[in-house]
């Protein structure tokens, strides 16, 4: 006789055994790796539940680390996955990787404007719209998080200074770095950039949150307003790298 196996679908599981319901009730930390992958996959296929697919992927590729090393095309070819599910899984794994960087002792540290450029410069240089980001730093100037605060024209007239410090206060950051791009490719600071920097530096002094720099990113070039002494009360510069 043929080996006929039956896999319970998610709907056939008791509500307390369904990954989404378990996450809602107990929190993500209570779920197994397979259950978390199953949530990203969302649906199974005929004859194989989504939890079974998730467990098969982990088993056949040597666990989570093996799944992370699997490229998008290989993952998409797996039975029961496809391109849409592969994209969701790879996105979830990448978020986990980025969070691990930000929460480990190896988190990037910001010591020079070039550190800012290395962290987000390549990505921001190719944006078609202007973005203003805030890099949150701890006492050793390690990166806590990066927040995109404004998209579009980031100038003194449109930016609410309080918004730039909201996440810094929430995360107990002791310092921040502003970074924005010029889609034109020319990183020369405008008068509005300088005025905004001065306002932010003044607000930071009141909040006891240091504004380390404001870096303008262009095409293959960048400008540090702190290095130029623009918008800062004292023309102090960050240490330059060799």
pTM for the full model? Answer: 0.56
Residues 99 and 117 grouped into a single domain:
no
Q: What is the pLDDT of residue 23?
A: 79
Q: What is the pLDDT of residue 236?
A: 44
Strand 222-224's sheet: what is its strand order?
143-151, 131-137, 175-181, 210-217, 222-224
Higher pLDDT, 197 or 241: 197
Residues 122 and 209 grouped into a single domain:
yes
CATH number at residue 125: 3.40.140.10
| Residue at a domain's end among 71, 103, 135 | 103
Residues 88 and 126 grouped into a single domain:
no
| Residue at a domain's end among 78, 103, 128 | 103
Does the pLDDT at position 57 exceed 70?
Answer: yes
Does the pLDDT at position 17 exceed 70?
Answer: no
- Give percent of the chain above pLDDT 90: 50
Whether 217 maps to a domain, the answer reads yes
Range of the domain at 67: 15-103
Residues 99 and 128 grouped into a single domain:
no
Contact 70, 61 (CB under 8 A): yes
Taking the C-alpha atoms of residue 66 and residue 161, their distance in angstroms, rounded to an integer, is: 44
How many separate domains does the chain show? 2
Residues 31 and 73 grouped into a single domain:
yes
Structure tokens of 51? 């939890």
Q: What is the pLDDT of residue 218?
A: 94
Q: What is the pLDDT of residue 7?
A: 52
Residues 169 and 187 grouped into a single domain:
yes
Does the pLDDT at position 32 exceed 60?
Answer: yes
Question: What are the contacts of 123-130 at 24+ separation with CB within 8 A?
Answer: 124/179, 124/180, 124/181, 124/217, 125/181, 125/185, 125/217, 125/218, 125/219, 125/220, 127/181, 127/183, 128/183, 129/183, 130/154, 130/180, 130/181, 130/182, 130/183
Q: What is the pLDDT of residue 26?
A: 76
Residues 179 and 214 grouped into a single domain:
yes
Number of residues assigned to the chain: 242
Does the pLDDT at position 41 exceed 60?
Answer: yes
Whether 83 maps to a domain, the answer reads yes
Mean pLDDT for 196-217 is 96
């Amino acid at each position: 006789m043929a080996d006929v196996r039956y896999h319970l679908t998610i709907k056939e599981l008791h509500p307390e055994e369904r990954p989404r319901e378990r996450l809602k009730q107990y929190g993500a930390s209570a779920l197994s790796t397979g259950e978390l992958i199953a949530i990203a996959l969302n649906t199974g296929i005929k004859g194989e539940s989504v939890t079974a697919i998730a467990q098969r992927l982990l088993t056949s590729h040597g666990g989570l680390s093996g799944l992370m090393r699997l490229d998008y095309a290989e993952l998409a070819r797996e039975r029961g996955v496809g391109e849409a599910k592969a994209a969701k899984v790879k996105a979830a794994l990448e978020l986990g990787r980025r969070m691990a960087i930000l929460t480990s002792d190896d988190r990037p540290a910001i010591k020079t404007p070039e550190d800012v450029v290395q962290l987000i410069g390549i990505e921001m240089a190719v944006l078609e719209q202007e973005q203003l980001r805030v890099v949150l730093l701890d006492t050793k100037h390690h990166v806590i998080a990066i927040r995109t605060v404004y998209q579009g024209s980031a100038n003194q007239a449109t930016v609410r200074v309080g918004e730039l410090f909201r996440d810094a206060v929430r995360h107990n950051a002791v310092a921040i770095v502003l970074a924005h791009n010029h889609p034109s490719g020319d990183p020369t600071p405008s008068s509005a950039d300088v005025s905004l920097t001065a306002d932010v530096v003044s607000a930071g002094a009141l909040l006891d949150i240091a504004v380390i720099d404001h870096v303008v990113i262009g095409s293959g070039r960048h400008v540090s307003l702190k290095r130029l002494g623009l918008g800062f009360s004292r023309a102090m510069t960050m240490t330059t790298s060799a």
